[in-house]
Amino acid sequence: MLDKKLFKQIRQITIPEYIYQVQTSKARIAKYFHKNSGRGKVKKNILDVPKKYKAVGYDLEGYVIDANNTRIVANSISAGTPKFIPINGQLFYSQSGGQFTRAKVVNALHEYFKQELIRLDFKPFEDNNYPIVIQMNWFAPYSHKTPDGTNMSFAYLKTFEDTLTNNGYIIDDEVRYVTSSFPIYSPVNSFNDRKLVFTFYQDMRAEVQQFKLKI
């Protein structure tokens, strides 16, 4: 833990039941079995289509059809339902989600943290609080799907810092004002007990106190 002689705790907030997924669409489009892949298509040879669909052939455009000449929906369970994506740092550095999805997640987290800070009546930091350190204690049940701490930090802690900056709670998140931010994981028994606890410390180290002269 941080040395109390060098890092003075000045504030702490708790955000219970934090969001863990973001809705990216209100209704997923239907996808149909087809000879070829493409938008709205699932490539599948008619012999490989599950028997429950009772496929009998292809229409003139290459879609798999049943005995009623109706195109067979490949995602019949999910079609028309909202689509959600889990919040995870891999979405950002792996480039797997696409620019639109990443922007959707970032914007959702910014708005979420903004509303939480308003709810908590969070006050801007005073000039004499800087430089500060932000610790995020992340409480969640453990499972084999639990992301590692850096993934969690990349998504939540960075957007939290941006929200603090964009809404005037801190002057900026560059090192003159925020010398560090880091996550700590704490297990809990129930998913309903998940929460984020942000603790703010004043960085009292002599080598960084000189930054005060430039603020």
CA distance 178 to 196: 19
Residue 96: predicted pLDDT? 57
Q: Which two tokens stand for residue 54?
A: 């009772």
The domain ranges of the chain are 7-25+85-214, 27-81
pLDDT (0 to 100) of residue 82:
80
How much is the pLDDT for 84?
A: 76
* Cβ–Cβ under 8 Å, residues 155 and 141: no
Label residue 17 left, alpha or beta by phi (over 0 means left) and psi (-120 to 50 means alpha).
Answer: left
Per-residue pLDDT of the chain (215 residues; tens, 9 = 90+): 789 999 999 999 999 999 988 887 787 788 989 988 888 888 888 888 988 989 988 998 899 989 899 999 988 887 877 877 888 766 666 555 577 778 888 999 999 999 999 999 999 999 999 999 999 999 999 876 666 777 777 789 999 999 999 999 999 999 989 999 999 999 999 999 999 999 999 999 988 887 665 55
- pLDDT at position 112 is 96
Q: Write down the pLDDT at residue 187.
A: 93
Q: What was the pLDDT predicted at 142?
A: 86
CATH of region 7-25+85-214: 3.30.1330
Peptide bond into 82 cis (omega under 30): no
Would you state the structure tokens that stand for residue 29, as one six-digit string? 């489009």
Give the other-Cβ count within 10 Å of 133's Cβ: 22
Report the pLDDT value the prediction gives residue 155, as an integer from 0 to 100.
85
Distance of CA 54 to the CA centre of its chain: 40
